[in-house]
Amino acid sequence: MSKRVYVGNLSYDTTESDLTGLFEQAGEVESVNIITDRDTGRSKGFGFVEMGSEGADKAIAQFNGSELKGRSLTVNEARPREERSGGGRSGGGGGRGRGGSRY
């Protein structure tokens, strides 16, 4: 069974190949995904590595707090993805109340 590992505090020039090379030291890497800004394509400074359960546990213990490209990594088990709503903001209308009559 595989686990997703969150990797945070990445240098903006870290590549998926860099992460693959690092995490292969702990076990077989199934996939690597660095999250990028939709508009600019620039890294957001975090990503996810998917690997076998044993390798993931070893990687978390081995790489959390370690340095990559001058940055101290945050490595832990990824939380389940939260559902996102597709629309913008919802909310009640403003406007004026329809209070009683004035004397």
- pLDDT tens-digit profile of 27-73? 999 999 999 999 999 999 999 999 999 999 999 999 999 999 999 99
d(CA 62, CA 69): 16
- pLDDT tens-digit profile of 7-23? 999 999 999 999 999 99
d(CA 11, CA 88): 31
Angle, vertex CA 78, rays to CA 2 and CA 50, nearest 5: 35
Higher-confidence residue of 64 and 98: namely 64
Q: What is the H or E stretch that residue 62 is in?
A: helix 53-63
Low-confidence winner among 31-35, 80-84, 87-91 (lowest mean pLDDT):
87-91
pLDDT at position 97 is 55
d(CA 50, CA 40): 25
The span from the first CA to the last CA of the chain, in angstroms, equals 74
Which pLDDT band holds residue 81 (cuts at 50, 70, 90)?
Answer: confident
Q: What's the pTM?
A: 0.78
d(CA 29, CA 3): 10
